[in-house]
Structure formats: structure tokens, C-alpha cells
Structure 1
Amino acid sequence: DGSRGLVHGQSVQPGLANASVDFGAALPCSEVEDTHGPIQDLSLQGCEGGSSCSALVLPRNGSHLIVCQLPGRPPASSVNTSALRTLPVGRFWLNDRGGAPLDGGAARAGMLHPEELSSAALAPCAKGSKEDCVVVGTTARRVVLLGLDRASEAEQRWLPSGLLQDDHGEVPAPGTFAVLGERYLGALQRRQSLLQVMDLHNGGAHVGTWKLPTPDG
């Protein structure tokens, strides 16, 4: 109908010659922009095997992270206890200067930009933990692991629990992060076509860096 929103696609008869993808409104995720503004980044979790997924949504300039459940069976993730869950992000650790423009444009001479969240993905926490964490990138090129502050069930919020990278080499753009094998974090460097892999069960220790093929070979 021309309105903005999120859609969710599910495979119909996968593996067959007449396989297709059925798209529908991703409720309640489609309501996020109405209440929190434009979406900066989102990541999916728990989509394997045809089961239900959940989506982590980072609004632009947002002070909250939203986890919304997509249609299907409820996933087992520790942060997906309702169809739409919104929790604040503690922003005290973000610097008031040193960031790049969030829209990716060139910074004007003499202009100071505050550090903002530029990308986000759900990720496992330390080994043995049953909780989920969130990896975020910032416009100051930092990569930070966030965990839930459970000091008060009534006032839970995401707080930094570890610095994974002090300088990613570029601003982590939307879609930069991918969880690999429920333990490792892949972080893409687009300009250099590099994939860095970190071990989240070992404090984000560097595992390796791989050069990705480019379209021109």
C-alpha cells in the first residue's frame, strides 16, 4: 500500500522445483518505526530449521534496543520473553565528540559529532552463560559488547560489558556483524574487503582475518 514497514519472508516447499518465498507483514516489528523512528540496523536470530525468528532493532540515534518476535513458534532466546520488548541502552560510555556523521557523509571542518550507535547484532555472552548479549558498533569505530543489567528487574537496561575493538578501522555500518557457530563474531570491513573473526567465549580474542574476493576478481 506504499507505507513503510518490515516484511518477513518464509520459504514455501524448500528444496522443490516450485519452491517460493511467502512475504507478509512482520508484526509487531513493523510498528517499531512508528514509535521509535527510522531503523538504523537490525539482525535476526533463531531462524534455523524453519522455526520462528526474533529481530533485534536499533533505531537511529536510539536510546533503546527493541527485540520483536516474528511469526511462528516462540524462540528459546533469553531476551525474547514477549512479542515486543524494548529496553534502554545506557549511553554514559558514548563520547560527546570523536564520532563520524551517522549518515556516512564526510564530516565538516570544525564540526564535532557525538559518538552514536551505528550497528547492532544479538550475540552469545561468555562461555557457560545462558544470557544473550548485544554487539554494537559506534561512529567512533569502536566495537562493544553489551549485557543486561539485572540489578533491578523493573529497570533493566543494556550496559557495556567489554570492549572488543577500540578501532575497527572504519565505522561499523549496518549489517557489519554476524554470529558464527554460536561462539564467534564476524565483523566485516567493507572498504578493505576483510572479515575479522573474534572469539566471544574468550573475551573477544582475535581468531583471524580473511581477505574476501571482490567482484572484479
Structure 2
Amino acid sequence: MDKSQVLNYWQKFFADLLIGTVTNLFLFGAVGFAAGMLGTYCLKEIYIWEADWSGWLQWGMLITALFWYGLWGPVHGVIASLIQTARGKLRQMVGGLHDLMDILVSGVLSHYPDVNKSIPREELARKFDASGKKFLDELKLKGGPINWMKGLFFRAVLKVLKFIFLDDVMEELNKKGKDHLDRADIESAVRRVGVEFVISTLTDQMLILQGLNVLLLAFTFGLPFFLFWYI
């Protein structure tokens, strides 16, 4: 598959991702808003209405709680939606990841026509980053928060590919006792790279992000209760 076909694949992938994202954004955002309103109601019944405050202060606290939970509920819902949608699309990326790796590695190796030339690992990493950035620019994921999230997701993909690429090469180097990489070592390492490992790595990262989102949800929802309890 040539570069234009790989670009078309990823552009279509992100277009399809948008369809799923819009649906999930609405559902998860609505659930987050409902959870926020429930949090406001509980705070009102447990603390605000029971406090020995003047009426205007109680209403002021209630409005503040409405703003707090009305903001953070949907925010956590949207974050959960984006993570969940991306996880659901990961398995569809297998073929695209393999072709993407081929394109990126070809871009790196094009700088080294001499097969026997030694290549420092740091230089190889810089070339890989440059090749990935060029491909990302050609995807034209710019403008608006949704495209920003797509670009962030693709950067995570590139980062995982780079680490897998470099780690495989370093493993080969350790076996041979070399201090530098050469082209034959790189090509040998790339042939052994499995995109299934990329998928599992990204899935693990998504689970970690979702866990962090849950922890932040507990913090933002629990903070007002803690403050009222402490006061």
C-alpha cells in the first residue's frame, strides 16, 4: 500500500470515529449532566438546606453547586465518551497500523542509503519523530476540539510505534553487542514488530486514562461534600 492509500485509510478512520464520537458524546454527556444534577440534589438536601444560614447564602451555595456539578458532570462524561469510542475502534486499526509502520520506517531509512552506515539510536528516534510529524501534518487534523482530540490520539499511536520500533532494535543490538544501529538490524527488528502488541499497549493506556477519569470524577464530586463536612 502506497502513502496516499495509507493517508486515505487514516482519514476515513477518523471520519468514522467522528460519527461514533458524536453519538457517544451526547449519551455520555447527558449521563454526566444527570449525575451532576443528582450530586447537586444530594448536597442540597444533606448540607445546604440543613445549614443554619440566611436564605440568600443558601441560594448562593445552591447556584454555585449547580454550576460546579453542571460543569464537571458533562466534562467527565465527554472524556469517558472519547476514551470509550477510541477503545472500540482499536481493533479496526490493525491493518492501518501495519501499513503506517511500513511508511514511517521507509521514511526513516530513506535518509540512510548506505546499508552499512551505523545509526545512533537518538538520531533514529529523531528521524522517526520527523517522519511521524510529517504524516500527521498531511492528515490535516486541525481546527476545533474534536480534531484536536484526534491529533492527540494519533500522536499517542506514533509514540507507541516509536517505542516498539526502538525497543525491538535495541533488543537486537543487545544480542549482537553493538553500540550503534545499522540498516540490516533495523529492517530485521521491523519485520518482527507485531501490531497486536501495539493494540494491547494502547488498550492498556486507555484503561489507565479511564481509571484516572473515574478518580477525578470522585474528587470533583466529593470535594463539595468534604468542604461542607469540614466546615
Both structures adopt the same fold (TM-score exceeding 0.5) = no
- Specify the structure having the higher radius of gyration (Cα): 2
Task: From the two aligned structures, give the one with the greater helix fraction.
Answer: 2
Q: Which has the higher contact order (CA 8 A, sep 6+)?
A: 2
TM-score when normalising by structure 2: 0.20
TM-score when normalising by structure 1: 0.21
Task: From the two aligned structures, give the one with the greater strand fraction.
Answer: 1
